[in-house]
Amino acid sequence: MSDAQLAGQRIVYAYSGLTPPQSLLTKIRAGEAAGVIFFGPNISSSAQLRAVISGLQEANRSSPVHAPLLMMLDQEGGIIRRLPGAPSLSEKQIGESAQPVALADQSGTAAGDNLSTAGINVNLAPVLDVYRQAGNFIDQYQRSYSSKAVVAAQLGAAFIAAQEETGVAATAKHFPGLGAATTSQDTDAGPVTLNLSLTTLRSIDEVPYRAAIAAGVKLVMVSWASYPALDPRLPAGLSSSVINGELRGHLGFRGVTITDGLGAGALARFGGFAQRGLLAAHAGADLLLCATTNPNDNTPAHGIAVLDALAYALASGRLERGYAEQAAARVIMLRTDP
């Protein structure tokens, strides 16, 4: 691969509106794209989204990289859904039900069937955060299965296994966990520091990730919060100590790592998209989610800026080619068999 193509295997593009712009199609045909993320403003119906995805995959067939694109969105359940339909229940509703494991399994299957019908092959779900206080950052939108780590682990693993049986890859998020964040601690808006001990992180927040990895989860999304017990300087998604040390080293994850949106307010002090993407790649993120916190402001230009920065870093030796090739191999394996 050229430097740009190798860099492109890390880039997940976003755009605004219902029609993919020509600049995105150009990058796809050149083999300089790993995938596309869709938000509400990109979708008018499941049929419309399927037609868009069909066109994007058709453009990709002329790419020198012979693997389908990753097509992804957030379909967690409850109010966090980009497409109508399953899973209709929120994670909290599942966790509080009389038969939570059966419902988590059913929701995973239904989510996968719904998304695959629209051409989506990656779901940025489930959330595995273990919430601490009722109404806190994660619980206020019913995005957590439970305040008990063992319950969140059991239900998350059931959802993951069931969904991946349908051929749609699951994404465990937001490692190592946002369950302790208060209502006002939103990484989209600004920096968040969670002063949890290493013992607490490993005995509570990381427990569902052990179960997810055992269940075969294909992707893990790393949060933008800072965890001084793991890294006193950097947010998790920019930290090799968190991604390579804790997630890959301590927990043994061998799948694809993905950032949260690079436009998050928590990263304001780290420069623009290009600088943030380069830092995340250095830290061990395989996929870089080049999206803003406002889906109406998305443009492929953000992904192109990251692509150019990575390609230049590869050409100049600032980014190790061997690791970039390993990351690309993991991504292409996922693209080939989500």
Rounded to an integer, what distance in angstroms lies between the CA atom of residue 140 and that of residue 215? 27
> What pLDDT is recorded for position 167?
98
> What pLDDT is recorded for position 131?
98
- What's the number of CA atoms in the CB half-sphere (13 Å) around residue 4? 13
Mean pLDDT of the chain: 98
**pLDDT band, very low/low/confident/very high, at 112 (cuts 50, 70, 90):** very high
**pLDDT band, very low/low/confident/very high, at 192 (cuts 50, 70, 90):** very high
- Please, what sign has the CA dihedral across residues 195, 197, 202, 207? negative
| Total domain count, the chain | 1
Angle at 154 between CA 149 and CA 159, to 5 degrees: 125
> What pLDDT is recorded for position 266?
98
> What pLDDT is recorded for position 18?
98
The pTM of this model reads 0.98
Rounded to an integer, what distance in angstroms lies between the CA atom of residue 43 and that of residue 203? 40
**pLDDT band, very low/low/confident/very high, at 177 (cuts 50, 70, 90):** very high
**pLDDT band, very low/low/confident/very high, at 29 (cuts 50, 70, 90):** very high
- pLDDT (mean) for 77-95: 96
> What pLDDT is recorded for position 47?
95
Report pLDDT digits (tens) over 130-164: 999 999 999 999 999 999 999 999 999 999 999 99
Q: What percent of the chain has pLDDT over 90?
A: 99
Q: For residue 287, give the amino acid letter.
A: L
> What pLDDT is recorded for position 187?
98
Rounded to an integer, what distance in angstroms lies between the CA atom of residue 109 and that of residue 200? 32
> What pLDDT is recorded for position 57?
98
Report pLDDT digits (tens) over 295-305: 999 999 999 99
CATH number for the domain that contains residue 71? 3.20.20.300
Report pLDDT digits (tens) over 43-53: 999 999 999 99
Report pLDDT digits (tens) over 6-22: 999 999 999 999 999 99
Report pLDDT digits (tens) over 278-336: 999 999 999 999 999 999 999 999 999 999 999 999 999 999 999 999 999 999 999 99
Domain around 39: 3-336
